Copies of this chain bind each other. A is one copy, B any other.
Amino acid sequence: KDSYKIAVVHGDGIGPEVAGAALEVLQAGVQAGTLQFEEYPAGATHFLETGDSFPASSFEGCRAADAVLHGAAGIPGVVHPDGTEAGLDFTLQLRFKLDLFANVRPIKLYKGVPSPLGRPGPIDYVIVRENSEGLYAARGAGALLREEVAVDTLVQTRKGIERVVRFAFELARTRNGSPKDGRRRVTCCDKANVLRTYAFFRAVFDEVAREYPDIEAEHVLVDAMTVHLINKPSHFDVIVTENMFGDIISDLGAATIGGMGVAPSEEVGAGVGLFQASHGSAPDIAGKGLANPYGTILASTLMLRRLDQRHKDGRLRLGADRIEAAARAGLEDAALRTRDIGGTATTRQVVDALLKLL
């Protein structure tokens, strides 16, 4: 393939700032002509302007691309009649319409980035969040009766569990990081002791695990998992879990490595993938040039690697290596850390420094 089409959606709040930062870095880090960027509108701002949070033309643009790079979305209070947020339609619709079943969130503590944990030790694991069903299957489908009873249904299918668990085991086989004790392992995070859907998740996990005898398989209940992610994060390698639980524990994981600002997120399925930072639109600091661009920049390296995995293109691999090295060097340099990770750098200062490094 000559070049790859990247659909770019800036979104709301700090979205344009962090997406813009990632674009500059991608242009400097990847050989010219490799990537072609096309911008599409979506988000809460667009909803306020047009009444449409995610126009069909934007969706078509994303679907036809090789990958989608997103800034961030959402304005608090800009909601649908059922109380859910309009700004989130973009991410949630892409997930469900493109069947992006695996949400991959690497939790890696970079040297120099302050962790809130007293003795974090090395942290380098990946959360694989089931992204196409679970409690999120209820979005838009829940019922509210006479303002008296509300229901949402958690749905878990064998097919849905099998594919995401298999994805997690394949990832454990190939990824570089490994837990402290050197054993490759996949941890199933569930609430099988109480709920049938999670017991089913665990049962299917156990079936799939048998296909991977070279990889240790274990179970941790979601409540206990929050304790382990604080007390022994170095234990983990790959964690696989249901959609809602994945949403919760991936933010917790991000907190331990310096916060949402440095945590990238990748959502993949059979086709095009969605790449963004884990953080939200942070309206309080939007437009001030203070946003932390590292999360989105690291997400763009995930994008390059995923494209390379599919297309075997050295330009992508090289770009990912270079950008990740630059980001790592930036994070190690106290002068290049933004406020959320204990520094004073502006978005612009970070980007300029990374461009120089590239």
The interface of chain A, by Cβ under 8 A from chain B, is: 74, 79, 82-85, 88, 92, 115-119, 135-136, 138-139, 142-144, 147-159, 191-197, 199-203, 222-224, 226-227, 230-231, 244-245, 247-252, 254-256, 259-260, 280
Q: In the complex the two chains form, what is the Cα distance from A135 to B139 in whole Å?
A: 15
Q: In the complex the two chains form, what is the Cα distance from A230 to B143 in whole Å?
A: 34
Q: In the complex the two chains form, what is the Cα distance from A29 to B152 in whole Å?
A: 47
Decide if A147 touches B152 in the complex (CB within 8 Å): no
Query: Quick one: which of B144, B191, B248 contacts A200, CB cutoff 8 A?
Result: B144
Decide if A199 touches B83 in the complex (CB within 8 Å): yes
How many copies the complex holds: the figure is: 2
* CB-CB under 8 A for A138 and B252, given A149-B156, A158-B148, A247-B223: no
Q: Which residues of B contact A202 (CB under 8 A)?
A: 83
Q: In the complex the two chains form, what is the Cα distance from A194 to B74 in whole Å?
A: 12
* CB-CB under 8 A for A151 and B155, given A85-B193, A224-B251: yes
Q: In the complex the two chains form, what is the Cα distance from A85 to B103 in whole Å?
A: 29
Tell me how far the C-beta of A2 lies from the nearest C-beta in chain B, rounded to whole angstroms: 39
Decide if A148 touches B157 in the complex (CB within 8 Å): yes
Q: Which residues of B contact A139 (CB under 8 A)?
A: 194-195
Q: In the complex the two chains form, what is the Cα distance from A96 to B260 in whole Å?
A: 38
Q: Which residues of B contact A83 (CB under 8 A)?
A: 192, 196, 199-200, 202-203
Tell me how far the C-beta of A294 lies from the nearest C-beta in chain B, rounded to whole angstroms: 16
* CB-CB under 8 A for A196 and B144, given A156-B149, A259-B231: yes
When C-beta atoms are compared, the residue in chain B nearest to A76 turns out to be B193
Tell me how far the C-beta of A216 lies from the nearest C-beta in chain B, rounded to whole angstroms: 17
Tell me how far the C-beta of A227 lies from the nearest C-beta in chain B, rounded to whole angstroms: 4
When C-beta atoms are compared, the residue in chain B nearest to A118 turns out to be B118
Q: Could you say which of A74, A135, A256 has the most chain B C-beta atoms within 10 Å of its C-beta?
A: A135
When C-beta atoms are compared, the residue in chain B nearest to A224 turns out to be B251
Q: In the complex the two chains form, what is the Cα distance from A115 to B230 in whole Å?
A: 10
Tell me how far the C-beta of A335 lies from the nearest C-beta in chain B, rounded to whole angstroms: 22
Q: Which residues of B contact A152 (CB under 8 A)?
A: 153-154, 195-197
A-B pairs, 9 with minimum CB distance: A83-B199, A142-B196, A226-B252, A150-B200, A223-B251, A85-B193, A118-B118, A227-B255, A150-B197
When C-beta atoms are compared, the residue in chain B nearest to A133 turns out to be B149
Q: Which residues of B contact A149 (CB under 8 A)?
A: 155-158
Q: In the complex the two chains form, what is the Cα distance from A136 to B154 in whole Å?
A: 12
Tell me how far the C-beta of A113 lies from the nearest C-beta in chain B, rounded to whole angstroms: 13
A-B contact pairs, 21 of them (CB 8 A): A83-B199, A83-B200, A83-B202, A84-B192, A116-B119, A144-B196, A147-B158, A148-B158, A149-B158, A150-B197, A150-B200, A151-B153, A152-B195, A222-B247, A223-B248, A224-B251, A226-B255, A230-B230, A230-B255, A231-B259, A252-B252
Decide if B151 touches A197 in the complex (CB within 8 Å): yes
Tell me how far the C-beta of A276 lies from the nearest C-beta in chain B, rounded to whole angstroms: 15
Q: In the complex the two chains form, what is the Cα distance from A83 to B196 in whole Å?
A: 7
Given A153-B153, A191-B244, 10 other A-B residues pairs in contact with their CB atoms under 8 A: A79-B193, A84-B194, A84-B195, A142-B196, A144-B196, A147-B158, A151-B154, A222-B248, A227-B255, A231-B259
Q: Which residues of B contact A227 (CB under 8 A)?
A: 251-252, 254-255, 259-260
Tell me how far the C-beta of A101 lies from the nearest C-beta in chain B, rounded to whole angstroms: 16
When C-beta atoms are compared, the residue in chain B nearest to A86 turns out to be B193
